[in-house]
């Protein structure tokens, strides 16, 4: 049974033979080579021989590696220093290129452990910080462009599932899509339909009448806005409190930007008197930038009101 192996002065970089078969090995001379560290599987095999055979190893005249990658290797030598011949003469090279003699290998192993632990903690902190920043950035972008994203989603889905063509703004199924709260449906049915459809021969899209049964309501809204020349929002407190009404308002905004080359399709009718502070910021911005009209609630004013509406959607 082989008890001693001398591989000194061979310019070895690592151990490549199968040490598991050398069960009687008691001495391993690897001096004067180019070994910087052992792989973990080799260390496991040699540790077994140290315990069973009191194996001695000579790594003198090699320049070992003192880095975070070799921390386990230096600690292994420190833990088994009695089994390493001339261990106080071993040289070790750091990342910065400096070389020291391992006269106090226990202290060097402890120093490496502390530095590498702090480096690991720093890397973890930086990684967490970068990941958190990326998450906040993504959420910020989604929040900022969430109406655009929703509009693009519903438009794309409609085109693929229903073969809905891109509207060029020339031909429309409806003159106007009327967006209103359920509490104002009598106003739409009793006033808008007679005044616009019966008297003016213009076509309105009324969700209670014209939405496709069985189709998802968000798709109905997006499709109806896209197929209408204008979207008229009848602004009331109930409108502003309605999720679907505000969805229709914002989808009409997106339609203007992304399907009508910036030409506004949105027109606001204030059915109730409202103060600026009562309006959501997005509605207030639109009022400040685009024309709107107030419903007069009197016969003489109504004539002018309906004429204005016909001009807007004509």
| Boundary of a domain, candidates 47, 78, 112 | 112
Q: Return the axis-axis angle of helices 146-162 and 217-226, rounded to nearest 10°.
A: 90
300 belongs to a structural domain: yes
Q: Phi and psi at residue 216, in whole multiples of 5°? A: -55, 135
202 belongs to a structural domain: yes
227 and 95 within one domain: no
Domain containing 233 — which CATH number? 3.40.50.10140
Q: Is 105 exposed, middle or buried (0-12, 13-18, 19+ CB in 10 A)?
A: buried
74 belongs to a structural domain: yes
- Per-residue tens of pLDDT for the chain, all 314 residues: 789 999 999 999 988 777 778 889 999 999 999 999 999 999 999 999 999 999 999 999 999 999 999 999 999 999 999 999 999 999 999 989 999 999 899 999 988 888 887 666 667 778 888 888 888 887 776 666 565 665 565 556 555 555 555 454 457 899 999 999 999 999 999 999 999 998 888 999 999 999 988 888 888 998 899 999 999 999 999 999 999 999 999 888 888 877 777 788 999 999 999 998 999 998 998 888 888 899 998 877 788 899 999 998 88
127 belongs to a structural domain: no
123 belongs to a structural domain: no
92 and 202 within one domain: no
| Boundary of a domain, candidates 94, 112, 130 | 112
191 belongs to a structural domain: yes
201 belongs to a structural domain: yes
309 belongs to a structural domain: yes
| Boundary of a domain, candidates 71, 87, 112 | 112
In angstroms and rounded to an integer, the radius of gyration of the C-alpha atoms of the chain is: 40
Domains identified in the chain, total number? 2
Q: What is the DSSP letter of 165?
A: P
Q: Structural domain of residue 200, as residue ranges?
A: 167-313
The DSSP bridge pattern shows strands 99-101 and 91-94 to be antiparallel
192 and 86 within one domain: no
108 and 179 within one domain: no
105 and 190 within one domain: no
Integer Cα distance of 195 and 187 in angstroms = 11
User: Could you report the per-residue pLDDT of 251-266, keeping only the tens digit for each?
Assistant: 888 888 777 777 889 9
Domain containing 19 — which CATH number? 3.80.10.10
């Amino acid at each position: 049974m082989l008890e001693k192996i001398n591989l000194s002065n061979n310019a070895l970089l690592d151990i490549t033979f199968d040490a598991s078969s050398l069960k009687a090995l008691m001495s391993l001379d690897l001096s004067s080579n180019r070994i910087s560290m052992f792989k973990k599987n080799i260390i496991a095999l040699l540790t077994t021989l140290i315990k069973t055979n009191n194996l001695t190893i000579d790594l003198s005249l090699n320049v070992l590696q003192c880095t975070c990658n070799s921390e386990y290797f230096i600690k292994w030598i420190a833990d088994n220093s009695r089994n390493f011949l001339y261990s106080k003469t071993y040289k070790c090279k750091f990342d910065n290129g400096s070389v020291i003699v391992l006269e106090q290998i226990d202290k060097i192993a402890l120093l490496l452990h502390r530095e590498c632990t702090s480096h690991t903690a720093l890397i973890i902190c930086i990684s967490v910080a970068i990941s958190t920043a990326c998450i906040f950035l993504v959420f910020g972008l989604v929040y900022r462009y969430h109406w655009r994203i929703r509009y693009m989603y519903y438009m794309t889905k409609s085109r693929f599932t229903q073969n809905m063509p891109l509207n060029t703004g020339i031909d429309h199924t409806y003159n106007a899509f009327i967006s209103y709260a359920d509490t104002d449906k009598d106003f739409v049915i009793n006033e808008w339909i007679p005044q616009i459809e019966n008297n003016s021969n213009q076509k309105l899209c009324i969700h209670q009448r014209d939405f496709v049964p069985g189709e998802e309501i968000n798709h109905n809204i997006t499709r109806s806005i896209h197929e209408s020349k204008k979207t008229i929002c009848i602004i009331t407190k109930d409108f502003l409190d309605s999720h679907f009404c505000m969805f229709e308002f914002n989808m009409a905004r997106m339609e203007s930007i992304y399907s009508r080359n910036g030409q506004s399709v949105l027109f606001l009718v204030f059915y109730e008197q409202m103060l600026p502070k009562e309006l959501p910021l997005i509605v207030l911005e639109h009022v400040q930038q685009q024309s709107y009209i107030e419903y007069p609630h009197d016969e003489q004013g109504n004539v002018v009101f309906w004429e204005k509406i016909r001009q807007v959607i004509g």
